[in-house]
Amino acid sequence: MLRPEEPLYITEGCSDCWAMLSSGRKAVAIPSATLLSKADKDLLCNLSDRLATSFHMYPDRDAPGEQLFLQLKEVLPTLEHHQLPPTCKDFSDYYVSHFGG
């Protein structure tokens, strides 16, 4: 359960979400960078308004990942961008290489 003011990480895809959850963070997955729906945006805005949630994202290191971040930033102006190391393509790759997932 997400508590008021608790950070929430938005991921692109389920494997990134599982890795984020395994690292001890609260997370939700957007199934694909091209599948961000109005309902998804409304739900995230509702969490922001209701729980004062801070949002964070490690976008995939590709154009669709950065585009998803920019789309989300339009509706969540405080969304924080975190950069993955150049050797990692996404958060699940980072998790496996750093924690042996």
Q: What is the spatial distance between Cα 18 and Cα 37, in angstroms, rounded to a whole number? A: 21
Is residue 77 over pLDDT 70? yes
- Cα maximum dimension of the chain: 37
Residue 62 gets which letter from DSSP? S
**pLDDT (mean) for 30-52:** 86
Is 17 contained in some domain? yes
Is residue 101 over pLDDT 70? no
Q: What is the spatial distance between Cα 42 and Cα 48, in angstroms, rounded to a whole number? A: 10
Q: Band of the pLDDT at 37, cuts 50, 70, 90?
A: confident
Instruction: Give the per-residue pLDDT at 22.
Output: 96
Is 13 contained in some domain? yes
Instruction: Give the per-residue pLDDT at 12.
Output: 92
* CATH number, residue 36: 3.40.1360.10
Is 78 contained in some domain? yes
Burial of 20 (0-12, 13-18, 19+ CB in 10 A): buried
Domain holding 84, by residue range, is: 8-99
Is 1 contained in some domain? no
Burial of 51 (0-12, 13-18, 19+ CB in 10 A): middle
Cα dihedral 83, 62, 55, 98 sign: negative
Is 2 contained in some domain? no
